[in-house]
Amino acid sequence: MTRRAASAVRPAGRASMPDIHMSYGSDAPVGIFDSGVGGLSVLNEIRQLLPSESLLYLADCGHIPYGEKTPEFIIDRCLTIAGFFREQGAKALVVACNTATAAGVAHIRQRYPDWPIVGMEPAVKPAAEATRSGVVGVLATTGTLQSARFAALLDRFASDVRVITQPCPGLVELIETGDLFSPQIRQLLRRYLEPLLVACCDTIILGCTHYPFLKPLLREMLPESVTLIDTGAAVARQLQRLLSRSSLLANGVARDTVYWSSDIPDNFRKILPFLSQNPGNVRSFRL
């Protein structure tokens, strides 16, 4: 089914607070956040392209999933986390969550106009260009599919193709367990993929940063002719462009990643090895 835009939401009360202009050196870290582990798929792409960058990753696991929350709630979380990364001296911010980008990135940019900020959005343009059947499927959260930002992408880039959207409630929570081949995930994916395959989609957009972790399972379940598209690599390239433009690219040896979780840190730490991450030091975030 195709979801259309929700009405625009006024900025949260804290969005109008002034921010003191801050300056950064190239050795300052980059802040990355998501509602949970999904943004680690983006972190992997950034680490591969920019190995010298010091990365800070915040998993807002205590409030997952964003996709089923109100826009007002998501905006508040975005501004809270952005403020935290400013306090940590982050030279740039990556909003590694499609739902948070759709609801909150404009509010972050309004508060911090001097800050390089990269958001996520479903890869509608490359999917529309790649499809051979003229039918594109989108797997995403309800919040992303109902956003004005997504509706604008469809109007701009998908006027000549048929787009089948599929909200995927429950999928993010299962991915958060780290068991990416569980019977429960297989069952949900079969249900969500069925309408896309019936409609003859030959290109499927992974419209949530959690979903790239399911690529091996999706490849097992889908015909070889179906192309999967996500935007993690494109986000890494955009971050590289923004840092280069501001003369903020780091040089030298590879840096470590510092993790925060708004849930119990040990729970997040246990998941990391399943997602090809070094558990390292996971700190508690309570805001």
Q: Could you tell me the pLDDT band of residue 172, with boundaries at 50, 70 and 90?
A: very high
- Mean pLDDT value across residues 57-80: 93
Q: Is the pLDDT of residue 8 over 50?
A: no
Interatomic CA distance for residues 155 and 157, integer angstroms: 6
The active-site residue out of 61, 78, 201, 208 is 208
Select from 246, 211, 163, 206 the least CA-distant residue to 40.
211
Could you tell me the two tokens for 282?
């996971």
The pLDDT assigned to 4 comes to 34
Tell me the residue ranges of DSSP E strands in the chain. 30-34, 55-59, 92-95, 117-118, 135-140, 162-167, 203-206, 227-229, 257-261, 282-284
The pLDDT assigned to 20 comes to 44
Least confident of 17-21, 151-155, 228-232: 17-21
Site of tokens 């929700």:
6
Measured at the alpha carbon of residue 98, what is the angle toward residues 11 and 5, in degrees to the nearest 5?
65
What is this structure's pTM? 0.86
| 165 annotated binding-site participant | no
- Do you find a cis peptide bond into 126, omega within 30 degrees of 0? no
| 98 annotated binding-site participant | yes
Each domain of the chain, given as residue ranges in start order, spans 25-120+233-284, 124-230
| 35 annotated binding-site participant | yes
Q: Could you tell me the pLDDT band of residue 279, with boundaries at 50, 70 and 90?
A: low
Express as a percent the part of the chain with pLDDT over 90.
73
Residues in the chain, overall count: 287
Interatomic CA distance for residues 136 and 155, integer angstroms: 14
The active-site residue out of 61, 78, 97, 168 is 97
Q: Is the pLDDT of residue 18 over 50?
A: no
Q: Check residues 68 and 7 and name the one with the higher pLDDT.
A: 68
97 as an active site residue: the answer is yes
25-120+233-284: CATH, from 3.40.50.1860, 3.30.70.790, 3.30.300.250, 3.30.70.1060 = 3.40.50.1860
The pLDDT assigned to 178 comes to 84
Rg, Å, the chain Cα set: 18
Select from 75, 87, 72 the least CA-distant residue to 22.
87
Residue-wise pLDDT for 227-261, tens only, equals 999 999 999 999 999 999 999 999 988 778 899 98
Range 124-230: architecture per CATH: 3-Layer(aba) Sandwich (3.40)
Distances (CA, A) of 221 to 130, 218, 228: 20, 5, 12
Q: Is the pLDDT of residue 274 over 80?
A: no
Q: Is the pLDDT of residue 31 over 90?
A: yes
| 54 annotated binding-site participant | no
| 44 annotated binding-site participant | no
